[in-house]
Amino acid sequence: MKQLLPFVTLFLLVCNACKNTPTTDEAPAFAITKKPFGKVDNADITLYKLAHANGFSVEIMNYGAAIVSIITPDKNGQPGDVVLGFDNLDDYVKPGNPYIGGIVGRYANRIAQAQFSLEGQTYQLAANDNGHSLHGGLRGFDKVVWSATEQRTDTSAMLTLRYTSPDGEEGYPGNLQVTVTYIVTNDYALRIDYQAIVDKATPVNLTNHAYFNLAAGQALDILGHELHLNAYQYTPVDATLIPTGELRPVTGGPMDFTTAKPIGKEIAMTAGGYDHNFVLNKQPEQELSLAATLYEPGSGRFMEMYTTEPAVQFYSGNFLNGMLRGKNDEVYTLNYGLCLEAQHYPDSPNQPNFPNTILRPGETYRQTTVYRFAVRPE
């Protein structure tokens, strides 16, 4: 594998492809625009675009707090959309949307048997995945309308979205107030800051479920993408994708992404493809650090992922089956996109040896994840 270049070098390469970027004297570096995107339950849905003059932009809507597009240039300076999504709201709302671009919670990933016990009480959750609870249940945070406030400064464009999950929603205790802020910066980065408070102890595990394809529609799958994960261990799962409780070394097998390799190289050795929680090489409360890199040779696009979370779920789009048509009428077939979801471990409320996910009154849940884009020479 080729040696990865320092990000400063990558950033300069992208900037060289965008030499016509206006200066701050000619126009504001950042812009925020918005347009109507339809209605859900008589609530207006708005599509917000956070853009920098260098050509990097992100679109987000207040339904599901979902990322709709990320536009970033390739090695030739040509812009392309590197996330999956739909051209209209109806396709996001209708059944069968596999969480594309949305914020998932109250608990991202799976909780076994759709139940957990806390402070002497057992809570029954909505079961929506082989008898388990997945991504918050039948109506998780990706299926609700959020309030939104936009703000532009000299150094960023940001969109803050808020939602209050009432006590008992999908079976979870406590009124949970959630804030998610998307921030576009001038170094081709999207930063996502999460915050939550609650009035009764409850599990909380939030993430974004964007599907990436750095080829921007120019490749039929992501199997040629080269992935590096900063993880020496992962959590094995049973046949229904519930962790066994073990932390297993990745060394020398298909789970080993400690050195970047094509996703398709050993995917056939994993039953059904990749849908696993990788334990990052960090302490659970460590500050923002590198979790993963992703490179697509055809376009030259390169992505770095940083997070404060202890783990990342790598999902290779195993359930995309050609039944969905996305933006520009693209057919989303097997492995068309991949997810890198910053998170705590799946089923942590039922796994005492996993890092804590219980948020209590008086505490504040905080999480930050950054996706930073550039290009890499061949």
Task: Give residues with Cβ within 8 angstroms of 243, minimum separation 6.
Answer: 235, 236, 237, 277, 345, 346, 347, 351, 354
Pairwise CA distance, residues 58 & 71, whole Å: 6
Question: What is the Cβ-side half-sphere exposure of residue 145, based on CA atoms within 13 angstroms?
Answer: 12
How many other C-beta atoms lie within 10 A of the C-beta of residue 42?
6
Q: What angle do CA 163, 289, 360 make, to 5 degrees?
A: 40
Q: Are 74 and 80 in contact (CB under 8 A)?
A: yes
Sheet containing 339-343: give its strands across.
Answer: 248-249, 231-235, 275-280, 311-315, 339-343
- Give the residue among 290, 293, 213, 221 at the shortest CA–CA distance from 261: 293
Q: Are 86 and 73 in contact (CB under 8 A)?
A: no
What are residue 65's phi and psi, to 5 degrees? 50, 40
| Active site residues per annotation | 209, 341
